[in-house]
Structure 1
Amino acid sequence: MSLPAEILDAAKAAGVMIATAESCTGGMVAVALTDIPGSSAVVERGFVTYTNAAKTEMLGVRPATLEAHGAVSEEVAREMAEGALAHSKAQLAVAITGIAGPGGSEFKPEGRVCFGLARTGHDTQTEAVEFGAIGRAKVRAAARDHALGLLRAALR
């Protein structure tokens, strides 16, 4: 069974709806989930918030957080995930913000992706993963797969 199918089955069994909040992946997690027939029973909605304005307007990410930490930060990933829960009927949300490349900086290198996982009744988890300068497509695919793994782990 594929990872997305496994997630959908586990969420269905738990009576959990899922929301996604994606920046650098541009909706790839939502696509992976909704490629599966019957996903509408579990996938509540997906937010693609590529700009800082979109993060603020759609998810309620605070401008002060963006100013203090930058879009690619665990702090913003936390607010994205919590905002996805607050602005949906989902009980589980995953958020992704990162630098897929090309480019980056000394402080925020290409391949750095921050994740947030929010679930009703649980503490929000965040983490940063350094995928390295492996190329835009590979960073985005690795970030999608990592986010799917976070969803699966949350449903176990």
Structure 2
Amino acid sequence: MTVTELLQAAREAGVMIATAESCTGGMVVAALTEVPGSSDVVDRGFVTYSNAAKQDMLGVQPGTLATHGAVSEDVAAEMAMGALMRSQARLAVSITGIAGPGGSEFKPEGRVCFGLAVKDQPVQAETVEFGALGRAKVREAARDHALALLASALSPR
């Protein structure tokens, strides 16, 4: 599904979208708003690069960050739910990860966690290991995966 088709699916479903992004720095909301007329279905994008921003703007709990770290499914889930609760959206996607360069033995470069929140449904979270592709390619892959998550949430079941 193209971004234009994704936006049309949201339009037809009467669904507003919000994003909560860390390592992609707004690339998902930029892709959505690149399409003319997207303002009728894109409510807002939160870029929460620091832990403080995740807490202040999205309500991520300090304990979650302390226990699991910023790059975790727990934080991704709280980011997605925070974006949903702090917007007019009925659908929100979140991204937090290690684009590189670097990483650690426990959280390697290319690990990205995603959250997907749909109003009145349990939040879903997942981790994708993109590998050490380089910063730009990890960010692009994360953006594309987040768009695919939004598309899947809007596809008829």
In structure 2, what is the Cα distance between the partners aligned to 1:105 and 1:87? 33
Deviations 1:8-41 (A, max 9, x none): 0000000000000000000000000000000000
Shift of residue 50, structure 1, vs aligned partner: 0.1
CA distance in 1, matches of 2:45, 2:57: 11
Q: How does 1:1-156 map to 2 (within 5 A)?
A: 3-156=2-155
Structure 2 distance, partners of 1:138, 1:6, is 24
**Unaligned runs of at least 5 residues, structure 1:** none
Q: How many residues align?
A: 155
Kindly provide the CA deviation profile for residues 86-112 of structure 1, in whole angstroms up to 9, marking residues without a partner as x: 110100000000000000000000000
The structure 1 segments of at least 4 consecutive aligned residues displaced by more than 6 Å after TM superposition are none
* TM-score, reference length from structure 2: 0.98
Cα RMSD (Å) of the superposition?
A: 0.6
Helix, strand or coil at the partner of 1:97: strand
TM-score when normalising by structure 1: 0.98
Q: Which moved more, 1:14-23 or 1:119-128?
A: 119-128
| Deviates most, 91-100 or 3-12 | 3-12
Q: Which amino acid aligns with 1:93?
A: A
Q: Distance in 1 between matches of 2:95 and 2:2?
A: 18
Residue by residue over 1:111-137, the C-alpha shift from the partner in whole angstroms, topping out at 9 and shown as x without a partner, is 000000000021111000000000000
